[in-house]
Amino acid sequence: MSRLLLAPMEGLADDVLREVLTHVGGRVGGYEQAVTEFVRVSGTLLPNRAFMRIAPELRNGGRTSVGTPVVVQLLGSDPACMAANAARLAQLAPPAIDLNFGCPDPCVNRHRGGAALLGEPDLLHAIALAVRAAVPAAIPVTAKMRLGIADTSLAIDCATALAEGGAESLVVHARTREQGYKPPAHWEWIAAIREAVRVPVIANGEVWNVADWQRCREVSGCDDVMLGRGAVSDPYLVRRLRGLAEPVATEAEWQALLPAIADFWRGVQAKVEARHAPGRLKLWLGYLRRTWSQAEALHAAIRPLRTPAEVSRVLDALVPTPPSAAASAGTLREAA
């Protein structure tokens, strides 16, 4: 069976959005797995609260409320320090630990993290090996990589280094760091990596709809796909790909999504400072408007607003607050 994973997206898919997206995906027919935003490891042994902040799901057995396992991602460049932090994280029993070798952020890269390490396969190997050795065998260690920094010349070396270091599976985002998020994604490179390594490879990059997913699987040869911005733009995408929702978005889906948007808004308000909350909703609506013209209109209505109270007034007019939600702000109730 073909697995669908929800991608890590720092500043976008935090626990609040993961909860909403996995809930809309559903217990049956939704994501097999989600991955957290990266936890930055740089020189110190992080306290438990640092992992809990990025992955509050650890308090719920490492799962969202519909039961989707949430893998915790680490980003860092020092094998010993990564290993020590992974060992501490392992005590919190995450479903798996993922290693980030894909982040293109110049700030992260300047400190030798993320995609900046793709020029050093030996270091990738050392990190995977050290983390694998530090974590109990029952907890899988996985990795996520891009194709390289400026070119793909070390893509196979990096993938092999990670697999031989003990990564149980590899997500390959089919672009170099220099290519950023610019289309296309080079899925044919995923096929080359798949042939070179013995571990399962999961394809990632530019899957926005059913046709992309089919082509991505054909070209990469991978059964499993990780969805990033496509999943944020279209929360029903995971169900469309499984044939459980219409192949293209409908008006009825937008109506059905409104309570989830309201849940997201409650969750964001409960979590972040009031001055940052409207920005989080605008960010998500900015993605949703790729799929629904109604999201475009809602985004336009909310864009000039600065305070949560103003935003709530607009949303409340669209979605009446259910009585139980007012009592338990920030938590989604699982559909029966």
Ligand X SMILES: Cc1cc2nc3c(=O)[nH]c(=O)nc-3n(C[C@H](O)[C@H](O)[C@H](O)COP(=O)(O)O)c2cc1C
Residue 103 a catalytic site member: yes
* Cα Rg of the chain, angstroms: 20
Tokens standing for residue 185: 């994604």
Contact residues: ligand X, CB under 6 A? 7-12, 37-38, 73, 100, 102-103, 144, 173, 204-207, 227-230
User: In this complex, which beta carbon is closest to ligand X, that of residue 86 or of residue 325?
Assistant: 86
Phi-psi category of residue 26: left, alpha or beta, with phi > 0 → left and psi -120 to 50 → alpha:
left
Q: What secondary structure, in 3-state letters, does 133-166 show?
A: HHCCCCCCEEEEECCCCCCCCCHHHHHHHHHHHC
User: Among residues 103, 158, 216, 222, which one is catalytic?
Assistant: 103
Contact 181, 113 (CB under 8 A): no
Closest to ligand X by CB, 136 vs 183, is 183
Q: Identify the residue whose tokens are 């042994």.
A: 45
- Rounded distance between C-alpha atoms, residue 278 and residue 288, angstroms: 15
Minimum gap (Å) between residue 70 Cβ and ligand X = 13
Q: How far is the CB of 8 from ligand X (least distance, A)?
A: 4
Pairing of strands 97-101, 33-40: unpaired
Which residue's CB is nearer to ligand X, number 8 or number 308?
A: 8
In the complex, residue closest to ligand X by CB: 228
Given the complex with ligand X, which of 201 and 315 has the nearer CB atom?
A: 201
Q: Minimum distance between the CB of residue 173 and ligand X, rounded to whole angstroms?
A: 4
Three-point CA angle 262, 268, 269, nearest 5°: 90
Smallest separation, CB 152 to ligand X (Å) = 16
Query: Known catalytic residues?
Result: 103
